Structure 1
Amino acid sequence: MSPATVTHNAAAQRFELTVDGLLCEATYRLQDGVMWMNHTGVPSALEGRGLASQLVSAAVAHAREQGLKIKPVCSYVAVWMRRHPEAADLLA
């Protein structure tokens, strides 16, 4: 399996990647310079491959590049942020 590439679908307000024909996503709502990260979804057949982490990492990189803050509404995103203190400065 080749590494999956995360893409930013700005129109749908989500980061996504497709593996084995299955869509994985991390969704957000942008309001007043804050990305409200509200959902990560990885099909059960793909769990345990680090795909959700890839999605959140891409969202964090995007937020940093765009000067945005992140509000982790999704429990997975909240845990990811706690485990990655280098991203703490982005917390809203």
Structure 2
Amino acid sequence: MKNYELIDNEAAKQYEFHVDGTVPRIEYIKARDKIYLTHTEVPKGLEGRGIGTALVKAALEDVEKQELTLVPLCPFVALYIKRHPEWKKLVLKGINIA
């Protein structure tokens, strides 16, 4: 799979890739030492290519690098963490990823 460059677009409050003239993204809210990942969106023409999964992984790597506590409000992000439990270490204590 191709590697895409993760862009933290702070003005738009989203992580994004630029792919074939489109912008797959994860919207977020940052509050002090926490980051709430609220919504993941991959344009229709890019679905099924693993881009959403790659975007979540890249975003989680950035969250870890910034030493932020993650609150995964987006169901897609929560499902990724459920499937990759090594990322649970970033999640706010007391939040159950079911």
Query: Shift of the alpha carbon at 1:32?
Result: 2.8
Q: Structure 2: any 5+ residue segments left out of the alignment?
A: 93-98
Alignment partner, residue 79 of structure 2: 79
Counterparts of 2:34 and 2:9, CA distance in 1: 17
Q: Structure 1: any 5+ residue segments left out of the alignment?
A: none
Please identify runs of 4+ aligned residues in structure 1 that moved more than 3 A. Answer: none
CA contact (8 A) 1:6 1:54 kept: no
Query: Shift of the alpha carbon at 1:91?
Result: 0.4
Alignment partner, residue 28 of structure 1: 28
Query: Shift of the alpha carbon at 1:53?
Result: 1.1
What's the RMSD between the two structures over aligned residues?
A: 1.6
1:80 aligns to what SS in structure 2? Answer: helix
Alignment partner, residue 37 of structure 1: 37
1:32-90 superposed Cα distances (whole Å, 9 cap, x missing partner): 31110001000111001111111111111111111101111111011011111111110
1:39 aligns to what SS in structure 2? Answer: strand
Q: What TM-score do you get using the length of structure 2 for normalisation? A: 0.85
Query: Shift of the alpha carbon at 1:4?
Result: 2.7
Which protein has the bigger strand share?
1
Q: What TM-score do you get using the length of structure 1 for normalisation? A: 0.90
Query: Shift of the alpha carbon at 1:11?
Result: 2.3
**Number of residues paired by the alignment?**
92
